[in-house]
Amino acid sequence: MTVPRLVFVAACCAALSLGPAAAPKTAAAETAGSAKRGAEIADRWCSDCHATGASARTSDVGPPFPEIARKRSPDYLRGFLANPHVRGQMPPFDLTRDRIEDLVAYLQSLE
């Protein structure tokens, strides 16, 4: 067996011995959020100004979450939630990437 082939075989064996943990994540797996956690975040932080669907409390300050879900793409929502809001009535907030994914998953569940 030639050296390059031996290195290739060794690398394959090493990858197989690591199992599924070594498998590369797909883009969907990396960005998949939890709609349940997103509903909890929305109920806690957003329902004072938005009809979130997770609470009976409503306000006319912000658009209802089901309307936002119908009008905005997941990528738009990620960008909006990741950047500070200097205009309008949105309060400043600092969400982790995971929390953003949870909120996006929740909004998508409302469509």
pLDDT in tens, 36-50: 999 999 989 888 888
Is residue 109 classed as helix, strand or coil in its secondary structure?
A: helix
Residue 73: CB atoms within 10 A of its CB come to: 10
pLDDT for position 103: 96
pLDDT for position 9: 41
pLDDT for position 94: 85
13's tokens = 């064996």
81's tokens = 């939630």
pLDDT tens string, the chain, 111 residues long: the values are: 554 443 344 444 433 333 344 334 334 444 579 999 999 999 898 888 888 984 555 667 888 999 999 999 999 999 999 987 766 778 877 899 999 999 999 999 997
pLDDT for position 59: 67
Residue 62: CB atoms within 10 A of its CB come to: 19
71: Cβ contacts below 8 Å, ≥ 6 apart: none
> Is residue 44 a contact partner of residue 106, using CB atoms and an 8 Å limit?
no
Instruction: List, in order of start, the domains of the chain with CATH numbers.
Output: 32-109 (1.10.760.10)
pLDDT for position 35: 95
